[in-house]
Amino acid sequence: MVGIEILEVEGFRGIGPRRVLSFEGKSVLLFGENGTGKTSFVDALEMLFTGEVTPLERAQGLSTSQHGKNICRKRTVIKATLTDGSEVSLENGQTPETPTAENYLAAAVQPRYILRRRQILDFIENPPKDRYEMLEPFLPLGEVMNIEQALRDAAKAAKSECDEARERMLTLARRIAGALGIPTPGQDISESTVCQAISSLLKSTGIGTLRSISELETARSSVDGKLKSLGDFEEANHIRNILSAVETLIKTLSDVHMAPLVSPLQEMWRFQRDVGAAFFEDVLERGLKWIRAEELDFCPLCGTRWDTKPRDRNALVKRIESELREMKGLIASRRCVIDAQRMLIDKINAANAASNSLKVLLEGLGRGEDVSHLDRIVASLGSLRDITQCRPDEMSPDKLHVVTDAWDDVRWEPSLRELAQRYEQVSASLPKLEDVEPLTRLYGLLGQIQELWGERESVLKTLEEATRDHEVKRRALLRAEEARKEVVQELFKKLDKEINNLYKRIDSDPERGNIRLELREATRGGVRLWKKFYDHDGSDPRAYENDARLDCLGLSIFLALRRFYRDEHSDFNLLVLDDVLTSIDTQHTVAVAELILKEFADYQILLTTHDRIWYEHLRDIQARCGVKSRFVNKAIHNWTLTEGPDLSEPDDESSHLERLIADASSPESVQDAAGAAGRLLEHILQEMRYSLRLSVQAKREERYGIGEIWPSFYKKAQGRYPGLYQKCQGTLDALNIRWPIRNWVGAHFNDWASRVGNQDGLNFARSVGALFKCVFCDECRRFIQPSMAPAGQLSCRCGHLLYPVPGKEAVKPVSREDLVKASAGAFKDARLDTELYLRWKREEAVAESN
Amino acid sequence: MAEVTHIVDASALIAYYRRESGHERFAEILRCEENVLAMHSINLLEVYYDYYRSDGASIADQVWGKTVSFLQLIDKLDEPFLRIVGRWKATEGISLADAFAAACAEHHAACLMTADHKDFDPIEKKKELSIIWIR
Amino acid sequence: MARVVSISEQIIDRWFVKLKQDDTVPEKFVEGLELLRKQRRLSNLDSLRRLQVSAEEGENGRH
């Protein structure tokens, strides 16, 4: 198992100069009064492993980046060395040496192993949804949720396929119904409906009923057979087409008349005679245009200049316009001729087209002689075309006459009628259209239905497959959701059990307890919290419980979750409890402390407290629980803005002082020694203030220096603890005399103190060193304290340092547990019991009153 | 001496020595390092002579020796203190020994540990002393 | 030390038990899911979409 060996912090939160918290791979109990920097170590640990400090991130207006740095330092260094040599630092990141360390650091990213006093009620007071989110790091369901989502999407895709297939089925049903002429179905069309409709169609043809779609091909063959029996209807069809084409040709040729052209031509000629050479009007028109546009001052024909005055040009223009008006009739007639020509061309083209169509049909039947006859008609049309393409002034009455006569001689109508008659005779022996058509339509319809039904079958199969696919995937999704809920609820039950076990260890009141976590999917993964309160089995603890019990509940939940997290991350065993014990009420603190030390013995715990009494108590509980060797106990003695927390061990301070005394050769080194002595004396007196319960004049800041504590200590030593005073009188008196140095040198060296003589300074330092040896035991590393009995005796925990009451025998200190073992039931076999005692007491009282 | 936190009366001590109901509560209080249990010598005397009467001198001596090994003995008999004792005796109608116990508790601002409901229930009701019932 | 089964694995194990007990879920489909699980492709939408549902279909998914 990997753990923290050392934590080094510099320039972070309340820690200024570099400070090292040595875990030595063990748990750490860290004491420090409020504001001495304990939490700064906790914050540093969180920053190192997770990248932020939760209380700073949660508070509005604060952030780790802005408020994490120590205000006096430019540089921030946080570094941890693990027991396997792995290192983690803010600057260089992680360098795990082993896979275990890697797992450790990966698990440490989520700060679920740190509980601060103010967070103890977080879980209880948060709304259900936030509680679920707090549980999420303990319930990593990401992979499962992804699987569920993929199943959901797959089922949805299958459903879309179903819907598409159904849509297509509906479309096909409508098409089938439409083709059969039956009402459009709502959903799908049944085979029986189709068969019925087809059967009624088949009835008219004399073919039997259709019992199933599979018989459709047979029915179709029957229809085909019937068609074939009618004869060659293809030929009949062809001849019908020829007859139709002949009719069309006759009609188009009938539209081809010369008369519409003759009249305008005659009219035009009349104008030409009366009005003059036709070509002239062109010239006049153009010349007029030219004169107007170019403003010419000469005649465009002969070039003669005329008077350029506008009056003359205008006169000319007026003359031309007058002549043009006279030619109006001619122009109009010419237009009529052109229009008539165009109409005739269209009619000729239509006749040509009809003729070509007929020709193709005749060729298809192999009727070459009929095609030749047709060609002659087409050729005549060609002559007509020629005349329609002349310019009107190119046409003459003679020319017209020739063409008209030629066209009249063609005699196309009789020949075409004769052709039609011949083919009608032929078609008389061929199948009639009215007989063929219904069967042809029916044959086509049956084919169409066959095709549509086939398509429908294919779509139906797709629909069935898609439906099955959707159903299976939907079931798979349901099972996945069920499995998740079941497992999570089981985990919650397990968690409940764990929370209850832990809570009962703290509060064994049977009227309370039965804690339950309930997962509610309806509120998107909300978690409700229930607790028994007397006969209210499932009540919200916030409704009935007092703060102390809520604190205990909060702690139980946190510890249960921590265990949960350990199940998932067995290599990670860090547990940080920042001053949480002091929020638990006195009645339960011993139980809580024992719970943590025993049940979490395999964790590396960082436990901080600001309560001195609790610090000492916890040290004793460590021994009682048999975990003393697994703990490093540290005390922060002092904190200043520039120096940060002072974690120095008193014996280290003492050794340091001895070295300084030994090396003191210059005034500066004497001052150093005196300064160190002052700090050590402050430390000693802080300890004595606690253990001897010294009365000190109250101060606003609650920080007491040497000057405040010494008088009380000296007085008590003299009065209450004569054993100590007698043994250490020289030292105590020496320090008492040197009160200026004692009070002013200390840890806060000042100008006055710099004028203290070398010898005085050294003597002071030596006295402090001697006092330290009187009150601090090298063996048990504890300061002396009053013995339980006899009154007035002082001793260290192990009894190595012992100051008995003068005249009385020294009593070696015994642990409380040993005291209890030695005294409880010591006289259990004696005759005297409380009943007897109280009886005698009452008898004495009666006797007295008598 | 260390600041006294609990005053023990005879009934509590006897129950503890006899392992009667309540002895665990006594033990729990004794175990706690921050607690300093004490008894006035008059109350110990009461215990001593009762043991003497019931079990003989030897046992009584042993009881005395055992008790002073884990309880501080208060031997205060100065005038102001005795006046407090007198007040308790006079106003509450309790035995002299009980009055010493009550006076010690008052003087040290400590809790009184007892099993004697008859004599101390009325006092608790008046909230004149902080009483810890061992049973 | 026994391997700790993660919550996700527990849920997936439970899911497979339920699938096998559900008569409406074809065996072939469950086998397909198990293969996807081995390949760590259970949350791959394409793989799930192509996973055959009935035994009559071709080897590599649906028609």
pLDDT digits (tens, 9 = 90+) for A439-450: 888 999 999 999
What is the distance in angstroms between the Cα of A453 and the nearest Cα belonging to chain C?
20
**A545, pLDDT greater than 70:** yes
**A469/C62 Cβ within 8 A:** yes
Within an 8 Å CB–CB cutoff, is residue C36 touching chain A? no
| C63 in a structural domain | no
- Rounded CA-CA distance C22/A479 in Å is 9
**A523, pLDDT greater than 50:** no
* Helix-, strand-, coil-residue percentages of chain B, each rounded to 5: 60, 15, 25
Q: DSSP label at A527?
A: E
Maximum average pLDDT range among A309-323, A620-634, A645-659, B52-66: B52-66
Asked whether A333 and A272 are in contact (CB, 8 A), the reply is: no
Q: Indicate contact of A with B: 3+ CB pairs under 8 A.
A: yes
**A135, pLDDT greater than 80:** no
Maximum average pLDDT range among A216-230, A246-260, A302-316, C9-23: C9-23
**A143/C45 Cβ within 8 A:** no
- Rounded CA-CA distance A471/A747 in Å is 81
pLDDT at A751: 56
- Which of C3, C11, C42 has the most A C-beta neighbours within 10 Å, making it the best mutation to test the interface with A? C11
- Tokens for B133, please give them: 């019932």
pLDDT at C20: 95
pLDDT at A614: 78
Partner residue facing B10 (CB), from A791, A837, A844? A837
Give the residue from chain A lying closest to C42, CA to CA. A147
Partner residue facing B36 (CB), from A788, A790, A837? A788
**B61, pLDDT greater than 90:** yes
| C3 in a structural domain | no
What is the distance in angstroms between the Cα of A2 and the nearest Cα belonging to chain C?
16
pLDDT at A457: 93
Within an 8 Å CB–CB cutoff, is residue A643 touching chain C? no
**A487/C29 Cβ within 8 A:** no
Q: Name the least confident of A271-285, A687-701, B37-51.
A: A271-285
Partner residue facing A487 (CB), from C10, C22, C25? C10
Number of structural domains found in chain C: 1
Residues of chain C neighbouring A568 (CB-CB closer than 8 A)? 4, 6-7
Asked whether A768 and A681 are in contact (CB, 8 A), the reply is: yes
What is the distance in angstroms between the Cα of C59 and the nearest Cα belonging to chain A?
15
Structural domain including C33 reads 13-50
Q: Name the least confident of A193-197, A239-243, A598-602, C5-9.
A: C5-9
In the block, tokens 């499932």 appear at A538
How many residues are given for chain C? 63
**C3, pLDDT greater than 60:** no
Cα distances from A804 to residues A120, A321, A766, B9, B69, in angstroms, run 46, 156, 25, 27, 14
Partner residue facing A833 (CB), from B1, B20, B34? B20
pLDDT at A245: 92
- Tell me the torsion sign for CA atoms A363, A367, A368, A370: negative
What is the distance in angstroms between the Cα of A567 and the nearest Cα belonging to chain C?
7
**A472/C24 Cβ within 8 A:** yes
- Rounded CA-CA distance A772/A245 in Å is 137
**A304, pLDDT greater than 70:** no
Number of helical H runs and strand E runs in chain C: 3, 0
Between A771 and A510, residue with greater pLDDT = A771
Within an 8 Å CB–CB cutoff, is residue A602 touching chain C? no
**A826/B17 Cβ within 8 A:** yes
**B17/A828 Cβ within 8 A:** yes
In the block, tokens 């106003």 appear at B91
pLDDT at A314: 76
Strand partners for A81: A6, A87
pLDDT in tens, A566-617: 887 888 999 999 998 777 766 677 788 888 888 898 999 999 998 877 787 7
Within an 8 Å CB–CB cutoff, is residue A469 touching chain C? yes
pLDDT in tens, A403-439: 888 787 777 888 889 889 988 888 888 777 787 888 8
Strands (E), A83-208: 87-89, 93-95, 114-116
Residues of chain C neighbouring A570 (CB-CB closer than 8 A)? 1, 4
pLDDT at B1: 45
Q: Indicate contact of C with B: 3+ CB pairs under 8 A.
A: no
**C25/A472 Cβ within 8 A:** yes
Instruction: Name the nearest CA neighbour of A439 among A134, A602, A223.
Output: A223
Within an 8 Å CB–CB cutoff, is residue C20 touching chain A? no
pLDDT at A604: 95
Split at pLDDT 50, 70, 90, the class of A229 is confident
**Residue range A659-675: mean pLDDT, rounded:** 80
How buried is A835 (Cβ within 10 angstroms: 0-12 exposed, 13-18 middle, 19+ buried)? exposed
Q: Name the least confident of A206-210, A495-499, A695-699, A749-753.
A: A749-753
- CB pairs < 8 Å spanning A and C: 88
Residues of chain A neighbouring C29 (CB-CB closer than 8 A)? 472, 476
The residues, ordered by sequence, that sit 6+ positions from A640 with a Cβ below 8 Å of its Cβ are: none
Q: Name the least confident of A42-51, A463-472, A528-537, A615-624.
A: A528-537
**A840/B32 Cβ within 8 A:** no
**C63, pLDDT greater than 50:** no
Split at pLDDT 50, 70, 90, the class of C2 is very low
Asked whether A261 and A341 are in contact (CB, 8 A), the reply is: yes
Domain with CATH 3.40.50 in chain A: 4-113+572-646
Give the residue from chain C lying closest to A146, CA to CA. C43
- Which of B39, B67, B69, B111 has the most A C-beta neighbours within 10 Å, making it the best mutation to test the interface with A? B69
**C33/A465 Cβ within 8 A:** no
Which DSSP helix (H) or strand (E) runs through A300? none
Maximum average pLDDT range among A65-69, A112-116, A286-290, B7-11: B7-11
Chains that touch C (3 or more CB pairs under 8 A): A
**A469/C53 Cβ within 8 A:** yes
User: What is the amino acid identity at position A122?
Assistant: D
**C8/A154 Cβ within 8 A:** no
**A811/B115 Cβ within 8 A:** no
pLDDT at A302: 65
Q: CA-based diameter of chain C, in Å?
A: 48
- Rounded CA-CA distance A125/A253 in Å is 103
**Residue range B76-102: mean pLDDT, rounded:** 93
**Residue range A777-795: mean pLDDT, rounded:** 84
pLDDT at A655: 81
- Tokens for A328, please give them: 């109006």
* Cis preceding-peptide flag for A438 (omega within 30 of 0): no
**B58, pLDDT greater than 90:** yes
Share of chain A above pLDDT 70, in %: 90
pLDDT at A839: 93
Q: Name the least confident of A32-36, A327-331, B30-34, B45-49.
A: A327-331
Strand partners for A27: A631
Share of chain A above pLDDT 90, in %: 26
Split at pLDDT 50, 70, 90, the class of A42 is very high
Bin A303: left if φ > 0, else alpha if -120 < ψ < 50, else beta: left
Listing DSSP states for B46-94 in one string gives HHHHHHHHHH-HHHHHHHHHHHHHHSEEE----HHHHHHHHHHHHHH--
In A538-567, the residues whose Cβ lies within 8 Å of chain C are 567
pLDDT at C1: 36
The residues, ordered by sequence, that sit 6+ positions from A470 with a Cβ below 8 Å of its Cβ are: A155, A158, A159, A161, A162
Residues of chain A neighbouring C43 (CB-CB closer than 8 A)? 143, 146-147, 149-150
Instruction: Name the nearest CA neighbour of A431 among A233, A268, A137, A173.
Output: A233
**B51/A830 Cβ within 8 A:** yes
Asked whether A172 and A452 are in contact (CB, 8 A), the reply is: yes
Residues of chain C neighbouring A483 (CB-CB closer than 8 A)? 11-12, 14-15, 17-18
- CB pairs < 8 Å spanning A and B: 120
Q: Does domain A4-113+572-646 have CATH number 2.30.38?
A: no
**C42, pLDDT greater than 70:** yes
Listing DSSP states for A479-497 in one string gives HHHHHHHHHHHHHHHHHHH
| Full-model pTM | 0.59
| C4 in a structural domain | no
- Which of C29, C43, C62 has the most A C-beta neighbours within 10 Å, making it the best mutation to test the interface with A? C43
Q: Name the least confident of A127-131, A245-249, A301-305, A669-673.
A: A301-305
